[in-house]
Amino acid sequence: MDSVFTKPKIISLFLFILTGYLSGFAQTKLDDVQTKKIAFKRIVEFLENQKAGEVVSFSDIQPSLDPDSSTAGFHVIDREYLVKDSLSKVWGYYANSDLQSSWNSNSVHMGLAYSRKNDSIYYSSDKLENLNIGLIVFFDIKLLMGLKEIAMAFEVTKVDPAERLIEYSYIKGNGTSGKQQMFFQSTPKGYTLITHLSYYKSKPKTREGIYPHLHAQLINRFHRNMKKTYKGKPTG
């Protein structure tokens, strides 16, 4: 009795399986980034520095502090923000707002993002919603009234609807290592209190003295943007 699988069919099946197997390991490379679509040269330089450090693909990028890693030895900044609306609504907005609006001001701009989940690159002109775990975001940041400009990148490492927690880590290669956490909880009046914790170490050490001030400016701007867009007003 002839076999159901003839030789040509076996070969085709083998090639199909092999293609699927190899595609599972295919990763977008940093060289695949269309730098002409990035309006900020510091981000382009940041990517070049990553490649110089033997980061070939986005899968090579690693967070500087994993979700379950100890924060012992890190400096910590604790700030609180009140939004006068229900926990469910505020949480939903923060977890699903587009990054172009939330991280867009005179001092901070999103220039590039990469999704590990989709193995896809997103530029500032692309619509990007939902803070998925594994989302890597590159920003251009202007400091000291625009006298200094740097690039920074973080990876979303936790989005927990049950704990109402958003966490992201600076990636390895930043001047600062550590992570940030945002906890959302309801107040007795039915409003939402956001506790924003930042754990950090900076290089060089001399930067640690000015980091709290600069960081406060950046996250204040972020939460102001979120409040403005939440109310349907344009960001500034």
Strands (E), 8-87: 75-83
Contacts of 59 (CB under 8 A, 6+ apart): 27, 116
- Amino acid identity at 141: I
Q: Tell me which range, 88-102, 158-172, 190-204, is most confidently predicted by mean pLDDT.
A: 158-172
Q: Residue 106: which domain range? A: 30-230
Task: Choose among 79, 58, 61: nearest CA to 170.
Answer: 61
Query: If 0-12 CB within 10 Å is exposed, 13-18 middle and 19+ buried, where does residue 94 land?
Result: buried
Query: Does 5 map to a domain?
Result: no
Contacts of 200 (CB under 8 A, 6+ apart): 74, 75, 76, 77, 170, 176, 177, 178, 208, 211, 215
Mean pLDDT of 219-228: 86
The number of folded domains in the chain is 1
- Encode pLDDT of 152-195 as tens digits: 899 999 999 999 999 999 999 887 889 999 999 999 999 999 99
CATH of the domain at 195: 3.30.530.20
Query: Does 119 map to a domain?
Result: yes
Query: Does 202 map to a domain?
Result: yes
